[in-house]
Each structure stands twice: as C-alpha cells, then as structure tokens.
Structure 1
Amino acid sequence: MNDIFDKRLARPMLIGNQSEPFNSPEYLFELKFDGIRCLAYIDRKSVDLRNKRNKELINQFPELSNIFSSVNGQCILDGEIIVLKNGKPDFYEVQKRTVITDFFKIKLLSEKYPATFVVYDLIYLDNDLLIDIPIEERINKLPRLINEDNRISISKVIENTGIELFNIVKSKELEGVVAKRKGSKYFFEKRSTDWIKFKYLVDDDFVLCGYIQKDNNMTSFILGKYDSSNNLKYYGHVTLGASIRTLDQYNYTIIKHHPFNCDLPKGNDNAVWIEPNLVCIVQYMPSNKEGMRQPVCKGIREDKETKECRE
C-alpha cells in the first residue's frame, strides 16, 4: 500500500455532472472553491503538493511547506489551493504562481497573498487506502487528523440544504457548490456522477488568438473555438485583468494574419495576432441572452489542448 504514497500514484477524482441546485438528504454539500485542485502527500517531516497532472507545486507555494506540522499522520489529502483577495478566492492570484520560477517573486507573492490548502477528502491514512469506504467516513476522520490554521483548513460540509447554500453563493458571487452523494467511494481519475456541481460563475475555455492593447493600459484577448469542421471561429474579446506582461510568461509566436476562417467584425484593426497554441479560461455570470455577461479572463491553463476548445 505504501506504493500509492511513495510513488505518488494517486490521482484526483473528478466531478461528473452539473445540475440545477437541489435539496436532498442523500447528499453532502460544500463550496466549490476557485483555486487549483491538488493532492497533498504529507508525512511527519514533509509535504509534497501535486496538481491534476501530477506536477509538483510546493516550490510555487513555499508558505505551504510546513503544513505537515498541523497534520497528525502520514496521509494523502485531496483539496484545493486558494488565495484570498478582498475576502474571496482569487483564481488569477493562485494561477499566476504556477508559472513563476523566480524565487524572489514567489517569496514576495507568498507574503502579500499567502495561499491556503483547503482539504475536502482523505484518500490514504497511515498505510490504509480509504477509497473504498464511504465519503462521510473519510471526511469524519479529518478533524482528528488536521489542526486547522491559516495555511490548512477543512472544507465545511452541510447536509440536506443545497439550494440554501447555493443562494448564499450567489449573494456573495462565489463560484458554486459541489454535491457529493453519501456512501460514495473515491475513484482515481474518474468523472463520477456521485459528484455534482451547481455553478453560479461559469468557466469556459477558449483558444487565445491575439490581443489588443488599449489607451487606458488595459489589454483585451481575442478568443476563438473550433467548430465541427475544425475551423477556428471568432468569439470576440475579453478584458485581461492584468498587464500584457502576464502573457510573456508563456511561449507564443506573433503571426502576420489572424487564424480565423472568416471575416472579422470591426474593432480588430490594432490586433496583434499569435499562433493559436494557448488556452485561456474565461469566467462569466450566466445569462438567458446570447453571449457572456461580465466576462473576465482568469488566466492561461496548461492542462488542456487548444483542439479541445470546441463549440
């Protein structure tokens, strides 16, 4: 059983469905955090943080390197790395850390906006793999295992009232709620319908095709998606919540002409076009009308291919 821990073989279980909010005595409900999914391998002397692709994260989040001192055993914890800004999780601040390699910059950010690891599941404890026991038994072990502080905390779970929790999420403009079926087991890398999300803020992925720098020092990204014929279709602009220097952290190539298989509307005369090799995440509020309401670019994601961004 130690191979799971020593060889870092665990992989996160994934949400398998999305629905309208509901109440049910058969489910546990908790906040959906706007952060980076992470498995934490913890023993009494060290912590190793891994993202969904099993990439090490501890160098990007040095403020989490001592959370092992708040954990009473060898374990694998499933959770989310979040960074709070103005009292709310800020995906841009946490995602920005994953691409910075300069130690001094990382140290400054870790002091200005320190991260927290929010734990919502326990899949291994002291040589016992727990994936086959019910979720409520797994999470009931967490309060005895973890001494909560500013760097590590346990996700709060409620029963029955998913709609009430979702209404709170809407009032605070948070991301959403996750409903987890009582009695459910944990399946590595599987999208399970035992886990359901209610999303208030919607995320969607687009191909980054270019950018426009504006007079007010703001930047807009130009977006696209592939259609069923593998043609890249124009999807408009989204304002980047940061300097264009953010893009310089990634490898991209400027090209002379736009990559779309169509004529473009007005407003793209000053565009800088790039090869469509990057995927950006756009978050917006749901709307009954066509298009996105109050879209904001959350950043670049490295765990998805551009060809996966489809209509």
Structure 2
Amino acid sequence: MLATPVDAVPEGTDLIHEPKWDGWRCIAFHEDDRVYLQSRAGRNLTTYFPDITRAVRTLPPGVVLDGELIVWERGRTNFALLQRRVTAGRGLLRMVNDHPAHYVLFDLLAAADGRPVLDLPLSDRRAQLERLLGGAPAQLTLTPQTTDMGQVSDWLTEWTVATGIEGVVTKRLGSRYQPGRRSGWWKFRRHLTTEAIVAGVTGSLHSLETLLLGRFDRWGRLRYTGRTHPLHTDQRQELGLLVSPLRPLQHRRATVVHPWPQPLPASWSGQLDRPEALRYVQVEPTTVVEIEADMAFEHQRWRHRVRYARARPDMSVYDVPLLLGEVEGYFDEP
C-alpha cells in the first residue's frame, strides 16, 4: 500500500500519525521455515539481510509483515549502510556484525495462521501486530503512533535532526490495506529551504533541463551536492540569462579545469537503479540559487533531487553555507 504526498500533515479524529523512516520499504513473508524479504519494487532482499531473516523466523509461520529496513549509526539512520549491503560481497557478514539492521514494523498483512487480514481496519491490524511482537527480538521494532499533533510537531522538529526520519505518514484508522493503491494513507516530508551554487546543467545552455549543484568545503573545494528536478519553462528562461559557459583560465602554464569530472560518475548520484554516468555541461560556478530539499542528506550530498525555488543574484557564492559536516553543513543557515 502506498501513501499520497501532501504539503501539510492531515488532521482529523479518525487519523493516526507515524514517523516516516529513512530506509527501504520491505514486505516479509514467513512460510514454514523460510523467510522471504521483498522490496517495494519486488526485488529479493533476503540474501542481504540474514540478521533480519533470523529475527523474522522467530515469529509464527504464516505471518506477512510490512515495514522499513533501517541501519543506525551513532543514533541516526544511515541509508548508505543499507545500500552497501547489496555490494558488500564477501564482506557482508562483517557488515552485518558491525552495522546490524532493524526492521521497523507498521502493518500486518497475514496473521500467524496465514490468514489474510488486509480487509480489517488498520486499528485491528495494529492491535494484532502489537501482540505478535510481544517478546520478539529487538531488531523487530514496532513503529510509534500518535494522535497528538504536538508529538507530530516534535517528530518534525526534533526527530528529523536527531534521528534522521524524513517526515510523517498519516493513516486513516479504519483504512483497509490495499496493495498498490493510495487510499487512506498520506506522507508529508519535511523540507529545508537553503542555497547552493550552480556548476553544471543537463540539456544545453540554450535549453536547460536540470541543475547540478555544489558547495564549498572548509578547504575551498567546490563539492558536488546534488541535482534538481526538471526545470519549468519560465525557470529555464530565467536561469538561461544567468549561467555562462566555463571559461578556461591560465594559471602557471596550466589550465584551470572544472573541479568535477566529465561525465559525472554514477556513484556520485547514489542511485542503484540508474548506474550510468551523467554527461552534463560545465558552467562557471558563479550563480547562486535557492532550493527546497528534504532531510535525506548523506556524505555531503542530497540523496533525492531537490526543487529549484529561485535565483539569488543578490548573494555571492561565498555567502552559501559551507560543507562543514553532514549535519552541520546541512542545517547551517547563511
């Protein structure tokens, strides 16, 4: 079951709210002595999470669970450690030992006897899930729920910073579980408005498609930090007047080159489903733009694409927040 994106957290007496965890959505099937973990896209994740399969195996056969796979590091969720499970190879067991995963559960699709419970109200499914997890291994965690909007506010202000959650999921207490449907569930992602430097574009200088963004680190190096969603027509026209092609400069007989490789390495984007390198147009890193980004910021980059808000010709590139660290650089306001 899917959630509909919204611009504000819904309110109502028949609604319940949960944290939106920053991990991999996963359905777990326990059939006899076999456990199968399936991603939202239908991918088999079983091999990569032996610690979770062992934990699920302690539950009665027949259960089908819905939740989020996460890995904690120093009190925050770390999405990159989830991705490394897929590429760890022979180092997988060491990674499992050093960075164990947790399965944060929020729904029950089939009960202990294998009986489907999808048509039951969410409140009934939740009650069964709570009973099922009584005495379960610590790696199987029941997600918090609340009807208190004050608690929701705390999640969005305190938890997003402290633990790395992305936002809030709101559900109708009487909703049925409808696979593949967006009915009765909503998701709100917390966003931050901040600034970045344009150092590349896709498309062409005459027809911009997306912006490649960067920030200076404390040593004065311009680091790649992310990419925008596709630009609208009026945004392309506005930025087309501001960005300019890279001008090679002479410095001690050497040409000062753009600080990023061409094409942009696939590993920089962090997208496992699109592994190809990205060709782009390098531009003079002199244009500052205001963007809206969600909370998924790791290894000095925004994992998801950001939204372009407006150009900031009133700002120097040296007014843009520095990359002081994964958390500090992200929340440091100019």
TM-score of the superposition, structure 2-length normalised? 0.62
Q: Which has the higher Rg, Structure 1 or Structure 2?
A: 2
- Contact 2:33–2:61 (8 Å) recurs in 1: no
The 1:156/1:290 distance shift into structure 2, 3 A limit, reads same
The RMSD of aligned alpha carbons is 4.2
- Contact 1:40–1:47 (8 Å) recurs in 2: yes
Within 1, Cα distance between the matches of 2:89 and 2:236? 35
In structure 1, stretches of 5+ residues that fail to align are 1-12, 236-261, 282-288
* 1:69-218 map, 5 Å: 69-98=57-86, 100-103=87-90, 105-125=91-111, 126-146=113-133, 147-158=135-146, 160-172=147-159, 173=161, 174-192=165-183, 194-201=184-191
Within 2, Cα distance between the matches of 1:166 and 1:96? 32
**The residue matched to 2:83 in structure 1 has which SS?**
helix
The 1:295/1:23 distance shift into structure 2, 3 A limit, reads closer
Q: How much does 1:265 deviate?
A: 6.7
In terms of fraction of residues, the more strand-rich structure is 1
Deviation per CA, 1:118-163, whole angstroms, max 9, x where unpaired? 11001122232222211111111112222332221211222x2134
The 1:114/1:219 distance shift into structure 2, 3 A limit, reads farther
In structure 2, stretches of 5+ residues that fail to align are 193-201, 203-209, 248-255, 272-288, 309-334
Deviation per CA, 1:172-226, whole angstroms, max 9, x where unpaired? 323222111111011111223x112232257xxx989799998799952563543
The 1:263/1:124 distance shift into structure 2, 3 A limit, reads farther
* 1:261-272 map, 5 Å: 263-264=244-245, 269-272=258-261
**The residue matched to 1:138 in structure 2 has which SS?**
helix
The 1:222/1:141 distance shift into structure 2, 3 A limit, reads closer
Q: How much does 1:300 deviate?
A: 10
Within 2, Cα distance between the matches of 1:47 and 1:115? 16
Deviation per CA, 1:15-48, whole angstroms, max 9, x where unpaired? 1132423543211111111110000011341211
Within 1, Cα distance between the matches of 2:246 and 2:127? 56
- Contact 2:214–2:222 (8 Å) recurs in 1: no
- Contact 1:40–1:48 (8 Å) recurs in 2: yes
Deviation per CA, 1:95-114, whole angstroms, max 9, x where unpaired? 3323x1513x2112111110
Deviation per CA, 1:74-99, whole angstroms, max 9, x where unpaired? 1211100011111122222223323x
Structure 2 residue aligned with 1:296: 297
Structure 2 residue aligned with 1:223: 227
AA aligned opposite 1:271: W
The 1:223/1:198 distance shift into structure 2, 3 A limit, reads closer
The number of residue pairs the alignment matches comes to 255
TM-score of the superposition, structure 1-length normalised? 0.67
